Amino acid sequence: MNAERSLVEWVKRFQGNGPSDPQHLREKLEATLVPMIRCALKTGLGQPTLVRWVRDQLPLMNPDQQTDPARVAGPLACRLAERLMARLDPLPQRETVRGR
């Protein structure tokens, strides 16, 4: 998704300031995204790409459009962190298998 490009760049900068362990990076990323997503849900404010992503994902998670930011921010942060981590290449200490 091209709209995620600026978020991927943000994660790369975030990655450079933190631990190299992918699991720890994912946990810190999710913890950082939760309040950002909660703010985007409550106010519509934030980094434009993040706000747009949240608005696009919300109907997929919650078709009835009843949104409790405290309830959906965590799952959205988990989903976004997973997508962004998958786009980081290569992650330090990630195992690779040659020839397969």
**How confident is residue 99, by pLDDT bands cut at 50, 70 and 90?**
low
pLDDT value of residue 63: 65
Q: Residue 19 is encoded by which pair of tokens?
A: 């631990």
**Mean pLDDT, to the nearest integer, of 19-39?**
87
pTM of the model: 0.74
- When comparing pLDDT for 76 and 95, which is higher? 76
The b-or-e profile of 75-99 (16+ CB within 10 A means b, else e) is ebbebbbebbbeeeeebeeeeeeee
Mean pLDDT of the chain: 80
**Mean pLDDT, to the nearest integer, of 70-76?**
91
- When comparing pLDDT for 81 and 19, which is higher? 81
Least confident of 11-25, 32-46, 74-88: 11-25
Asked whether the predicted pLDDT for residue 41 surpasses 70, the reply is yes
Distance from C-alpha of 100 to C-alpha of 63, rounded to nearest angstrom: 40
Q: Residue 16 is encoded by which pair of tokens?
A: 């450079």
